[in-house]
Amino acid sequence: MDTDFYLSTVWSVLKALPLTLEIWFFGVFFGLSIACVLTWMRASAFKPSQWFAQAYVFVFRGSPLLVQIYLIYFGLSQFDFVRNSSILWPVLRDPMYCTIMAMAMNTAAYSSEIFRGALRSVPTGPIEAAKAYGMPALTRFRVVILPMALRLALPAYSTEIILMTKATALASVVTIMEMMGVAQKIQHDTFRPIEVLTCAGVVYLALNFSIARLFVSVEYILSPHLRPPPEQSQQIKPVPEVL
């Protein structure tokens, strides 16, 4: 086994980790912001906003992320008004911005459904108790509904975050040299796909494991009622003498 080749490949892939994390962070951040708006639109009583949110989720959840990246990066540049725009063209000609935009819009569709399901899964008992207590609607949402919905959404949302980490590998198709792009370049230069892709897979696995453990810690903090009770000492305390 060529240990030096494995170590040099892992090091080369790790040098692209900051760029991968940058794509992941901004994609998740903007996707979370859009998902919150979509969740509010789905929960509102205004029918057009519900229809728009449903159509958005249908389109972006039903089409592959790779196709969305291609359409944003290659497709929108075909329009003259985009190329002539002093606002749109500096953004849409940059593969970094296009990839972040596609990832954000894609994860927003999935995340909004996760949040909507969590809100609908909140038990009605605490909500009715808050109403009976006379708690205002905004306070009721902030104190009762939101913490419980966040706890319910966390396991599914952590899976979506891990999927977005793996989706950053698609950035290499639009010339971004993140971890997968670097791995593909090494593979083309050395003609050793098994060794190179194995090293890249190990780095992705370690990254996703760290993210998964982080969400487990957050879930532990938000779930005090599920923690095991502290063990009580079995030692029998002496009974004080009564004078």
Q: Is residue 209, in this structure, part of any structural domain at all?
A: yes
For 196-216, letters b (16+ CB in 10 Å) and e give bbebbeebbeebeeeeeeebe
| The two three-digit tokens of residue 13, written as one number | 């892939």
Contacts of 95 (CB under 8 A, 6+ apart): 73, 171, 174, 175, 176
From the number of C-beta atoms within 10 Å of its C-beta (0-12, 13-18, 19+), residue 48 rates as exposed
Q: Is residue 238, in this structure, part of any structural domain at all?
A: no
From the number of C-beta atoms within 10 Å of its C-beta (0-12, 13-18, 19+), residue 10 rates as middle
Residue 230 predicted with pLDDT over 70 = no
| 8-51 residue pLDDT tens | 999 999 999 999 999 999 999 999 999 999 999 998 889 999 99
**Contact status, residue 9 vs residue 186, Cβ threshold 8 Å:** yes
Q: Is residue 236, in this structure, part of any structural domain at all?
A: no
Q: Is residue 145, in this structure, part of any structural domain at all?
A: yes
The Cα 7–Cα 102 span in angstroms is 33
Q: Is residue 17, in this structure, part of any structural domain at all?
A: yes
What one-letter code names the amino acid at 57? V
**Contact status, residue 72 vs residue 102, Cβ threshold 8 Å:** yes
Q: Is residue 214, in this structure, part of any structural domain at all?
A: yes
pLDDT of residue 242: 52
- Rounded to an integer, the average pLDDT of 117-131 is 90
Number of domains the chain is built from: 1
Q: What is the CATH number of the domain that holds 201?
A: 1.10.3720.10
Q: Is residue 62, in this structure, part of any structural domain at all?
A: yes
pLDDT of residue 59: 96
Q: pLDDT tier at 223 (50, 70, 90 boundaries)?
A: confident
- Rounded to an integer, the average pLDDT of 165-184 is 94
Mean of per-residue pLDDT scores for the chain: 90
The number of residues making up the chain comes to 243
From the number of C-beta atoms within 10 Å of its C-beta (0-12, 13-18, 19+), residue 104 rates as buried
**Range of the structural domain that residue 143 is part of:** 3-224
Q: Is residue 196, in this structure, part of any structural domain at all?
A: yes
Residue 235 predicted with pLDDT over 60 = no
Q: pLDDT tier at 212 (50, 70, 90 boundaries)?
A: very high
Residue 243 predicted with pLDDT over 50 = no
**Largest interatomic CA distance in the chain:** 99
Query: In this structure, what are the phi and psi dihedrals at residue 89, rounded to the nearest 5 degrees?
Result: -65, -45
- Rounded to an integer, the average pLDDT of 193-220 is 94
- Model confidence, pTM: 0.88
pLDDT of residue 236: 55
pLDDT of residue 238: 60
